[in-house]
Amino acid sequence: MNTSRRRFLQTTAAGSAVAMSGPLRAADDNGKLRLAAIGVGGSRGRYNRGRSIALSAAGFANMIAVCDVDDLHAKEFNEEHFGGKLNTYRDYRELLEQEKPDVVTIGTPDHWHVPIAIAALRSGAHVYCEKPLTLTIDEGKQIRKVVEETGKVFQVGTQQRSAKDLFLTAIAMVQTGRLGDNVNAYVAIGGAPEGGPFDVTDAPKDIDWNLWLGPAPDKGYCEERRRFFRWYFEYSGGKMTDWGAHHIDIAQWALAPGETGPVKVSGKGQFPKIVPDDYNWESFLNGEASLPNGYNTAMKFNIELTYENGSVLSVNDHYTRENDNVNFPNGILFEGEKGRIFVNRGKLEGRPVDALTDADRAELDEKITELCKGKKPGGHMGNFFECISDGGLPISDVWTHHRTMTSCHLCNIALMLGRDLTWDPKAERFVGDEQANALLSRKSREVART
């Protein structure tokens, strides 16, 4: 555990426990916390995860307001689920100032996660933010610092961390030595599509496109950019930060629990045809260069993350190993000298699983409680509100998720530059590679209020 995180936990456990144990402002008449949802998706868009987390949180708190740059999304959410009684906003800054919620859910496109989360934390709210939390490695450092400064509860929506019978059991099996002492992981997360160039058109009148773009470079409206933002580096990181935020997270947690991240990243990948082999990614991400208006994240990839303890995490669009009949498009294979297990959202299987006795499972349950920081595993949103109540650290805290996202971003940077990289996880910088270090952050646009 790093010094700042240890100091934060000691502080919140002692003198500042009240700051994390319920509302700082008066609760509603029924005693529940006041909740606001920022980014809720809708019928006009593909992305509805924001709506799902907001409704889940509403089971624990009183929803008072909704914010979305798309008026249709806010209207649908308000009328379909709350009878039109919520106050609605386009600009999250106005919501935070006017409503002063105790809790905020964030379900916007990825490039807005950290700016909105920082503003919500500093306004006094506890935050549940969808994954992937960050667009860059430096954003992770920023949000980590603000969580430490404010002492608010911050949960990232990596719900696989709450899946007891699947991912938590797999992690417990690895960490209790049931696969041996030298375990590696092979992850498949699917590839990204190729598409474009697409036409630029006028934005719908009830969408604030400039506010949707926010800190990202100024681009003309394009339906594909809005609906399928995950395939644009301007707003996300492709499958590497989409499914990688889930499976790389679980694999890294299992393999290297005492480490802060990998020390080496190597591999290769394939980008859409619109991306030249020698493209200047630093200029592009800073809005100073352009590509044709099409998807630009990596389509196929095979990357290896190597940790100081010797473990290797292999990240693939699709994992195949013909010599022993291994082939899967999505999931995690853990393999050691004592055997191997496979886990995804549908199953946990392998001979070591079949061999578990009742006594083994009781031991694994104890380990799972430890992984859950002393709490019973269960609902991800319930864990968040339980931590608001008791001042505990949630199952997907900002420290561990920043390190997961760092590994995801390392993979993308290695793909962009097309070469192996050495990473110092303590200094959080590349060793002897200033071109790679230039990709740790990017310029942000200032967005004026309308």
Q: Which pLDDT score, from 0 to 100, does residue 121 have?
A: 98
Res. 21: pLDDT tops 80: no
Residue in the structure block whose two tokens are 């707003």? 235
Listed residue (156, 185, 183, 164) closest to 368, CA to CA: 164
In the structure, what pLDDT confidence band is assigned to residue 25 with cuts at 50, 70 and 90? very low
Q: Which pLDDT score, from 0 to 100, does residue 6 have?
A: 41
Q: Which pLDDT score, from 0 to 100, does residue 450 have?
A: 72
When pLDDT is averaged across residues 332-358 and rounded to a whole number, the result is: 98
Rounded to whole angstroms, the Cα distance separating 285 from 235 reads 10
Residue 422 CA: distances (Å) to CA of 88, 315, 437, 441 = 47, 17, 11, 18
Phi–psi pair at 296, nearest 5 degrees: -135, 5
In the structure, what pLDDT confidence band is assigned to residue 95 with cuts at 50, 70 and 90? very high
Q: Which pLDDT score, from 0 to 100, does residue 24 have?
A: 37
Rounded to whole angstroms, the Cα distance separating 171 from 257 reads 10
Would you tell me how many other CB atoms lie within 10 Å of the CB of residue 27? 14
Phi–psi pair at 105, nearest 5 degrees: -105, 140
Rounded to whole angstroms, the Cα distance separating 319 from 443 reads 35
Rounded to whole angstroms, the Cα distance separating 145 from 7 reads 12
Rounded to whole angstroms, the Cα distance separating 283 from 438 reads 10
Res. 15: pLDDT tops 80: no
The average confidence (pLDDT) of the chain is 92
Q: Which pLDDT score, from 0 to 100, does residue 141 have?
A: 98
Res. 42: pLDDT tops 90: no
Residue in the structure block whose two tokens are 């994992």? 319
Q: Which pLDDT score, from 0 to 100, does residue 378 have?
A: 86
When pLDDT is averaged across residues 277-290 and rounded to a whole number, the result is: 96
When pLDDT is averaged across residues 128-138 and rounded to a whole number, the result is: 98
Rounded to whole angstroms, the Cα distance separating 175 from 255 reads 8
When pLDDT is averaged across residues 22-47 and rounded to a whole number, the result is: 70
160 contact partners, CB below 8 Å, separation of at least 6: 166, 167, 246, 247, 249, 250, 345
- DSSP code for 167: I
For 65, the 3-state DSSP assignment is strand
- For residues 213, 219, 223, 225, the Cα torsion angle rounded to the nearest 10 degrees is -60
Share of the chain above pLDDT 90, in %: 88
Q: Which pLDDT score, from 0 to 100, does residue 46 have?
A: 53
Res. 336: pLDDT tops 80: yes
Pull the structure tokens for residue 385. Answer: 């509100």
pLDDT, tens digit, 9 for 90 and up, residues 43-91: 665 558 999 999 999 999 999 999 999 999 999 999 999 999 999 999 9
DSSP H or E stretch at residue 327: strand 326-328
Q: Which pLDDT score, from 0 to 100, does residue 449 have?
A: 84
- How remote is the C-alpha of 71 from its chain's centroid? 26
86 contact partners, CB below 8 Å, separation of at least 6: 63, 64, 65, 66, 77, 78
What is the DSSP secondary-structure string of 13-46?
HTTTGGGGSS-SSPPPTTSPPEEEEE----TTSS
Residue 255 CA: distances (Å) to CA of 69, 181, 185 = 40, 10, 8
When pLDDT is averaged across residues 264-282 and rounded to a whole number, the result is: 97
Contact at 8 Å (CB) between 173 and 278?
no
Res. 421: pLDDT tops 90: yes
Gyration radius from the chain CA atoms: 22
0.95 exceeded by the pTM?
no
pLDDT, tens digit, 9 for 90 and up, residues 166-218: 999 999 999 999 999 999 999 999 999 999 999 999 999 999 999 999 999 99
**Positive or negative: CA dihedral 378, 381, 385, 390:** positive
Res. 5: pLDDT tops 60: no
In the structure, what pLDDT confidence band is assigned to residue 394 with cuts at 50, 70 and 90? very high
Q: Which pLDDT score, from 0 to 100, does residue 16 have?
A: 30
In the structure, what pLDDT confidence band is assigned to residue 22 with cuts at 50, 70 and 90? very low
Domains of the chain, start order: 34-159 (3.40.50.720), 161-374+397-439 (3.30.360.10)
Listed residue (249, 253, 258) closest to 173, CA to CA: 253
Q: Which pLDDT score, from 0 to 100, does residue 8 have?
A: 39
**Alpha-helical runs (H) found in 45-163:** 49-57, 71-82, 92-99, 113-122, 137-150
